[in-house]
Amino acid sequence: MAKHQFCTFVLDGYFFGVAVRQVQEVIRYLEMTRVPLASPVVRGLINLRGQIVTAIDLRRRLDLRDRPADRLPMNVVIRTEEGPISLLVDEIGDVLEVDQEAFERPPETLGGVARELIRGAYKLKDRLLLILDTEKAVQLPAAA
Amino acid sequence: MTDMGNLIKEFLVESYENLDQLDQDLVQLEQSPDDRNRLASIFRTIHTIKGTCGFFGFGRLEAVAHAGENLLSLLRDGKLHLDGPITGALLAMVDAVRAMLGRIEVSQEEGDVDYSGLIAHLTALQTVPSDAAPPATAAAPAEQATPPAAPSAAGSTPLAQTPPAAAKPVTAFAQAPPPATPSPAIATPQAPVSPPAPVQASPPPAPAPAPAVPTPAPLAAAAAAPAPPPAAPPQPLESVAAPVPPQQKVAAPAEKDSSDSVSASESEGESAEGPAKAREQSQAVSEGNIRVDVGLLDKLMNLVGELVLARNQILQYTSTQKDTIFLGTCQRLNLITTQLQEGVMKTRMQPIGNIWNKFPRVVRDLAANCGKHIRLEMEGKETELDKTIIEAIKDPLTHVVRNSVDHGIEPSDVRLANGKSAEGVLFLRAYHEGGQVNIEISDDGGGINTERVKAKALERGLISRDQAARMSEQELIHLIFLPGFSTAEKVTNVSGRGVGMDVVKTNIEKIGGTIDINSRLGHGTTLRIKIPLTLAIIPALVVTNGGDRYAIPQVSLLELVRLEGEQARKGIELIHGVPVYRLRGSLLPLVYLNHELQPDTPNGISADTEVVTIVVLQADDRQYGLVVEGICDTEEIVVKPLGKLLKSISLFAGATIMGDGRVALILDVMGIAQKARVVSQSRDHGRGDRGARGEDRHTDRQTMLLFGQGEGRRMAIPLSRVARLEEIQRTTVETAGGREVVQYRGQILPLVRLSEVVGGDTEEGKRDPMQVVVYQEGPLRVGIVVDNIQDIVEATLDVQCSNKRPGVLGSAVIQQHVTDLIDVPDVIRSADLTKFHEAAAV
């Protein structure tokens, strides 16, 4: 039976996952340098051990509410063809191994950005693990 | 065997380098056939290759090189005079050698391509001076036999002969061939005949086999079966050596080789000296140079980058420390890091000449092919570029050069008919500017015929007829960058395959460069390539704005101006809302960084500002002042590219990590200038940079179009901005989008009445036909309706900016009259035509 490993995180109460092999590392909050004129989705640039990495606010990318100002986001750094990109999330969860069987595609009622970025959900015992399409997530929203 | 493999590899690398040099030398030699040093160097190169080939048993290669060497030796001794055919043959020989080296590289064998035709050709060329005496066949053997035969001549001729032979080796590396030369040199035309005599005497057989003996024979054998060479050479050589007992005499003039040649003379003679020499040389070279893998250099470069950052961080920390030992150490660390960084940077830099050096040959061959006369001029060969960039622009540049030769410059007869000199000029120029390397390739050829470009583009379906009608000249020229475009009437082996300029463009853009083209029909074409220095560590000025730090590359920085108190409030003046500062009498347009970064903030500063900091920057050929909040420091920064998500923001050239570990953005001086419209994107390049740089452009001599406006008012527009002057009948004026327009050359030309912008009573409303100045900037074309056009004058402008008004830049005295200078961009802006054009373009 096919098993998949996901690195999980919380975003505005939702439980998300990205495939473990796409994740380079997970780190606590790092100071960011904002980039004027950039899309609001881009929160800034972080210094990842000498490498400059663009940080994308996943909340904004998914059209969720902004994080309360007193809560510092964490970085989930994922590998892309153009080098690492950091996804800013609320909290980091465990690495979970789930059965392929528990997967289901998103319902038709899911619309908007979420439909584009959420590949589907794994039905866990107590909640749903939403799988993020990282390739699309690291692109700027079409409108921007 | 691996030893052998390594030796061969070394030989290959060295030979390739030598061959590149050879190409260049030969082409230059053609220009100055009497350059003896160059000839000697060419001779040396070929001789080294030949010798080493013999050592490795590459017989065919040796035979080719040998034929070339013989020809060269005649040239060197002034027996022959270098001309086109000879250069051509020598270049062909170089190519053949190169081809064989290529095969050796792949298979360790020289292949079995037959070069006898080339050898015969090379040999035939040697006969020229002695055509009177022997038939070609006899002369050919004579020459081929010369090197081994020479000793005989040397031995039998007066002592006087030896000194020249001994003298030459100084330049010619004391090899065996020099002794060969005296024989023809001294015996003059008849000489070539006489040397064969001894040779023929020794091996009684027919003359025909004889020539084959000294060199080609072993080679032929070697080609047939690569193994035998060691065995084969002794026989034929002995047969030659036999009638030539004074073999030692050969060694005598070539003092240095004596030990080698004596030991080897019996069997190998000259071919043994060759490799010895070659090894000696390569040893000398390898002592001073080593080859390093570029990957390793890249790694070093990255590490140094990190070290610089760490150093910066430590230096920041030292300011809070008092421990003198620690401080001293830090200072040393600082110094060493800087030196290390400079050193590593240098290892990666290469002069652009490394690529250009190939061009004389390329141009020569192509020009000869196309029957054209072309002179190649180069300026700024020493301009250094990072190795990766050099690699990346090599092919595009070559393509552009080939294009210029093939399409750009006309054949001599056409040039003469057009009143140009028969010889076309291709001019390459490279220079650093504004943190970029600029490369210009210009020719004085026919220029780009936009009508033909248009026709071709239509024919290929690249644009629609509609689009074509609307396109400006410049846009039409840019069509050549479209994929699948080629105007060559016929496909030559040079170009015309339609994979040309678009590939050039993509390749240049891939490394973050830009390419631009300017062409004047009948006068030539200039291509301009700009390549940013993206991967360097650069000194930068760090400024603050809105609580963030930004780095400005120091190369663009001219000076810093600080205005305080009264000056801060009054120093900045406005021209129709556009802020300027008088810097030593000339106007410096100001750009507010704050406003550029956050367009919703007001463009300007509050009236009660106490301090204004202006960073004076150079963008292309313009200067502008960037107003920032504060200035921190200068720092060495490592330029890191921005991610894909941010690339589209033209204001930033990259990012860097500051001493405290935080990221700072690097401002793109050019990008800001463009965004703030200090320089317009479609600006005419050709005019911009020549001469005017650094001078005060307000006092330049300019050609101005003068016209009257209203009651005795005189106004002027720089003629360079005027596309045409037209008279337009009132009845043809129509309206579109609430604006007056006319149909003009298949386009809709919006009209702007100057009086509406600059005010004043005018008669333009009554005049019929109306006088219209057609102004063009990029795709933007506007007809400015003026009162009455008077004159075109060249005048030195001393602009007085005291009386600025909307649409007016200022006033100057032209021909003893006060004349208002029209600020055309401002006129257009106030007429708000951009929208109109956008609408029209859809």
Query: B797 and B671, same structural domain?
Result: no
Residues of A in contact with B548 (CB under 8 A): 33-34, 36
Q: Minimal Cα–Cα distance from B597 to chain A, Å? A: 6
Residue A144 maps to a domain: no
pLDDT of residue B651: 87
Q: What per-residue confidence (pLDDT) applies to B162?
A: 38
Contacts for B169 with CB less than 8 Å, ≥ 6 apart? B175, B178, B253, B254
The residue among B808 and B761 whose pLDDT is bigger is: B808
| Residue B505 half-sphere exposure toward CB, CA atoms < 13 A | 15
In contact, B539 and B634? CB cutoff 8 Å: yes
User: What pLDDT, on the 0 to 100 scale, is given for residue B664?
Assistant: 92
Q: Which residues contact B723 (CB under 8 A, 6 or more apart)?
A: B774, B775, B776, B781
Q: How buried is A13 (Cβ within 10 angstroms: 0-12 exposed, 13-18 middle, 19+ buried)?
A: exposed
Confidence check on the interface: ipTM exceeds 0.95, yes or no? no
Domain with residue B112: its CATH number is 1.20.120.160
- Count of A-B CB contacts under 8 Å: 64
pLDDT at residue B283 tops 70: no
CA distance B61 to B766: 86
Segment B590-616, tens digit of pLDDT = 888 888 888 777 766 665 677 888 999
Given strand A74-78, what is the order of strands in its sheet? A23-27, A74-78, A85-89, A51-57, A42-48
Is B418 contained in some domain?
Answer: yes
- Domain assignment present for A85: yes
- Please tell me if residue B305 touches chain A, with a CB cutoff of 8 Å: yes
Count CB atoms within 10 A of the CB of residue B701.
9
Rg (CA), chain B: 35
CATH code of the domain containing A74: 2.40.50.180
Angle of helix B84-107 versus helix B359-370 axis, rounded to 10: 120
Based on the fold, state whether residues B53 and B188 are members of the same structural domain.
Answer: yes
Whether residues B409 and B338 fall in one domain:
no
For B171-238, give the DSSP string: HHTS-SHHHHTHHHHHHGGGTTTTTHHHHHHSS-S-TTHHHHTTTHHHHHHHHH-SS-TTTTTHHHHH
Same-domain status, B38 and B185? yes
A143 belongs to a structural domain: no
pTM for this structure?
0.44
Q: What is the mean pLDDT of residues B678-694?
A: 39
CB contact under 8 A, B643 and A54: yes
Pick the range with the lowest mean pLDDT from B35-49, B211-225, B473-487, B533-547: B211-225
Query: Does the pLDDT value for residue B656 go beyond 80?
Result: yes
The whole-number pLDDT of residue B73 equals 78
* Region B765-787 average pLDDT: 76
Domain interval for residue B321: 294-349
Helix axes B59-76, B36-56, angle to 10 degrees: 160
Tokens read off for A134 = 């990282």
**Residue B548 Cα, gap to closest chain A Cα (Å):** 8
Judge if B309 and B377 occupy the same domain. Answer: no
Is residue B620 in a domain?
yes
Query: In percent, how much of chain B has pLDDT > 90?
Result: 3
- pLDDT tens digits for range A113-133: 888 889 999 998 888 999 999
Window from B466-470, B559-563, B801-805 with minimum mean pLDDT: B801-805
**Nearest residue in A to B313, CA atom:** A50
Whether B719 shows a pLDDT value over 70: the answer reads yes
Would you call B598 an interface residue with chain A, using a CB distance cutoff of 8 Å? yes
Quick check: B487 pLDDT over 60?
A: no
Q: Of B502, B532, B562, which closes a domain? A: B532
Residues B784 and B821 in one domain: yes
* Residue range B221-249: mean pLDDT, rounded: 39
Mean pLDDT, rounded, for A94-101: 90
- Identify the DSSP state of B441: E
Instruction: Give which of B781, B754, B791 is closest to B770, Cα–Cα.
Output: B754
Whether B643 sits inside 8 A of A83 (CB atoms) is: yes
The CATH number assigned to the domain holding B747 equals 2.40.50.180
Nearest residue of chain A to residue B661 (CA atoms):
A47
pLDDT reported for residue B181 = 37
Q: How far apart are the C-alpha atoms of B749 and B754, rounded to whole Å? A: 15
**Nearest-neighbour CA in chain B from A140: distance (Å):** 7
Residues in chain A with CB shorter than 8 Å from the CB of B664 are 33
The DSSP call for residue B769 is: S
**Residue that the structure tokens 């096919």 belong to:** A2
Above 70 in pLDDT, residue A1?
no
- Note whether B332 and B371 are within 8 A (CB): no
Helix (H) or strand (E) holding A88: strand A85-89
Q: Report CB contact under 8 Å: A39, B640.
A: no
Q: What is the mean pLDDT of residues B702-708?
A: 78
Would residue B667 count as lying in a domain? yes
The pLDDT of B336-340, averaged and rounded, is: 89
CA dist., res. A11 & res. A31, Å (int): 20
Least confident of A38-42, B197-201, B344-348: B197-201
pLDDT at A17: 93
Q: How far apart are the CA of A130 and the nearest CA of chain B, in angstroms?
A: 25
| Partner-chain residue, chosen from A32, A47, A140, that has the shortest CB–CB distance to B657 | A47
| Nearest-CB residue to B645 (from A37, A42, A52) | A42
- B744 plus B767 within the same structural domain: yes
Q: Helix or strand or coil: residue B64?
A: helix
pLDDT score, position B381: 87
Residue B785: helix, strand or coil by DSSP? strand
B710: left (phi over 0), alpha (psi -120 to 50) or beta: left
The answer as to whether B464 is a domain residue is yes
Q: Which residues have C-beta within 8 Å of that of residue A32, sequence separation ≥ 6?
A: A43, A44, A45, A46, A55, B663
Instruction: Give yes or no for A137 touching B (CB within 8 A).
Output: no
**Domain for residue A44, yes or no?**
yes
Nearest-neighbour CA in chain B from A34: distance (Å)? 8
d(CA B426, CA B440): 10
DSSP notation for B688-728: HHTTTTTS-GGGSEEEEEEEEETTTEEEEEEGGGEEEEEEE
| Residue of B629, B639, B663 to mutate when probing chain A, most A C-beta within 10 A | B663
Tell whether B703 and B818 lie within a shared domain: yes
Instruction: Please give the pLDDT value at position B813.
Output: 75
Tens of pLDDT, residue by residue over B360-371, are 888 888 888 888
B652–A45 C-beta distance less than 8 A:
no
Q: How many CA atoms are closer than 13 Å to the CA of B268, on its beta-carbon side? A: 20
> How many domains, chain B?
5
Q: How confident is the model at residue A10 (pLDDT cuts 50, 70, 90)?
A: very high
- Mean pLDDT across B455-480: 79
The answer to whether residues B647 and B661 belong to one domain is yes
Longest dimension (CA), chain B: 110
Residue with tokens 């802006």: B829
Q: For the domain that residue B334 is a member of, what is the CATH number?
A: 1.10.287
In terms of Cβ atoms closer than 10 Å to its own Cβ (0-12, 13-18, 19+), residue A54 is buried
Whether pLDDT at B442 is above 60: yes
Assess contact for B101 and B205: CB atoms under 8 A.
Answer: no
- Summarize the confidence of residues B515-529 as an average pLDDT: 86
B576 and B628 fall within a common domain: yes
Distances (CA, A) of B572 to B496, B624, B803: 55, 13, 15
Please identify, among B619, B643, B675, the residue that sits at the C-terminal boundary of a domain: B675
Instruction: Give how many domains chain A has, as a whole number.
Output: 1
* Average pLDDT over all residues of chain A: 88
Residue B649 with chain A: CB contacts under 8 Å: 35, 37-38
* Contacts for B462 with CB less than 8 Å, ≥ 6 apart: B479, B482, B484, B485
Tell me what the pLDDT averaged over chain B comes to: 70
Domain end position, chosen among B483, B499, B532: B532
Show the beta-strand stretches assigned E in B458-523.
Answer: 514-520
Does residue B680 lie within any of the structural domains?
no
- Average pLDDT of span B628-633: 88
Cross-sheet strand order for the sheet of B374-379: B374-379, B424-433, B436-443, B524-532, B514-520
Q: What is the pLDDT of residue B220?
A: 39
Q: Which domain holds residue A68?
A: 3-137
Name the pairing type of β-strands A128-132 and A118-123: antiparallel
User: Does some domain include residue A80?
Assistant: yes
Q: What percent of chain A has pLDDT over 90?
A: 42
- Domain membership of residue A102 (yes or no) is yes
Whether residues B218 and B133 share a domain: the answer is yes
Per residue in B383-409, pLDDT (tens digit) is 888 877 888 888 888 888 888 888 788
Average pLDDT over residues A42-53: 86
Claim to verify: residue B311 and residue B330 sit in the same structural domain: yes
Q: What residues 66-95 of chain A have any CB closer than 8 A to a CB of chain B?
A: 82-83, 85
Angle between helices B36-56 and B2-31 (to 10 degrees): 160
